[in-house]
A = this chain, B = another copy of it.
Amino acid sequence: VLSGNRPVSPATRRKVERVMEELGYRPNFFARALNSKKTHTVALIVRDLTNPFYPALARGLQTAVAAADQVVMLFDASAGSALTRTFVDEAVQRRVDGVVVAGGEVETVLEVLRDAGVAVVAVGSMVSGKPVDWVSADDMRIGHDATAHLHDAGHTRIATICGPPTTEPGRTRLAGYTQALADLGLAADPDLIVAGDWTRESGAAALRQLLALAQRPTAVFCANDLMAIGALDAALEAGLSVPSDLALMGVDDIDAANLVRPALTTVRIPAEEIGRAAGDLLLQRIAEEDASAHRHVLVQHSLIPRQST
């Protein structure tokens, strides 16, 4: 009974503690969860653990929730697969206290999660208006800043390799690009917009498509670093010189961005910080009985000029 909140004489306490020690007693986690209804477990569903952005995020999450004795259950939806729904079901059945959905298509699972009464925070999805806590970068401004940076370097025919339009950051970074074009008085050409799926391969394929155009772009804003690196692969393969023939930009600032040659100009998003923020939001939400207003935290991005522009 020492594991509780009840007056106990010091003598008894000591005796019990000694016996616990001797027997190597460990309270059964499940019996505990059974009546407390708390599992002290949060689920992390990531789109693609192989994208270095997510391991960093996972570390941040772990750091944040560990303080509250929470442990993280990992679900890797391996690029493009529609596993998210399955994972959500699994998490619900296991009665996790909360789940953070990072990079998946959150909107489709929001309802299930709410019905099940588990806390949720969405990452990378600026699901304004939707009933969720979320943390993300300012994707609109990221798209805008990157495009403007390319324009500042003298480019006027600027393409974008955007993310899937089914995802929020995909849509919004694209909107930022479009907005910037308008603000800059540049014509918008639908041929200059090609969607990838965030992977390196899709970036290469998208660039090949852009290079096949009668009027090639002179600069490309890629919605993440992995696609930008793929685009770089394809550009070099086509015998182009970067940045003189073609300027390239990415988003995220994963380690690889500074490993490729030429080093990639990018917009840095602090992945670990996002993970920590998500964890903090989740803990708050778990702690609250009543459904308070939904919060969001907007994380700071920064432009990192390197050699590809």
| CB of A183 within 8 Å of the partner chain | no
Q: Is the CB of A72 within 8 A of B73?
A: yes
Copies in the complex: 2
A115 to chain B: which residues have CB within 8 Å? 24
| CB of A255 within 8 Å of the partner chain | yes
| Contact of A29 (CB < 8 Å), options: B27, B28, B54, B95 | B95
| CB of A211 within 8 Å of the partner chain | no
| CB of A39 within 8 Å of the partner chain | yes
| CB of A58 within 8 Å of the partner chain | yes
Q: Measured between C-beta atoms, what is the minimum distance from A274 to chain B in Å?
A: 15
A255 to chain B: which residues have CB within 8 Å? 200, 256
A178 to chain B: which residues have CB within 8 Å? none
| CB of A261 within 8 Å of the partner chain | yes
Q: Measured between C-beta atoms, what is the minimum distance from A276 to chain B in Å?
A: 13
Interface size bracket, A side: 35 or more
Q: Which of A38-52 contact B (CB under 8 A)?
A: 39, 41, 44, 49-50, 52
Q: Which of A254-268 contact B (CB under 8 A)?
A: 255-256, 259-261
Q: Which of A96-110 contact B (CB under 8 A)?
A: none
Q: Is the CB of A72 within 8 A of B74?
A: yes
| CB of A131 within 8 Å of the partner chain | no
A64-85: CB near B (< 8 Å → 1, else 0) gives 0000000111111010000000
Mark A residues whose CB is within 8 Å of B. 24, 26-31, 33-34, 39, 41, 44, 49-50, 52, 54-56, 58-59, 62, 71-76, 78, 90, 92-95, 115-116, 200, 229, 255-256, 259-261
Can you list 27 A-B contacts (CB < 8 A)? A26-B93, A27-B93, A28-B95, A29-B93, A29-B94, A29-B95, A30-B34, A30-B95, A31-B34, A44-B74, A49-B55, A49-B59, A52-B52, A52-B55, A55-B76, A58-B76, A59-B78, A62-B74, A62-B76, A71-B73, A71-B90, A72-B73, A72-B74, A73-B73, A74-B74, A259-B260, A261-B261
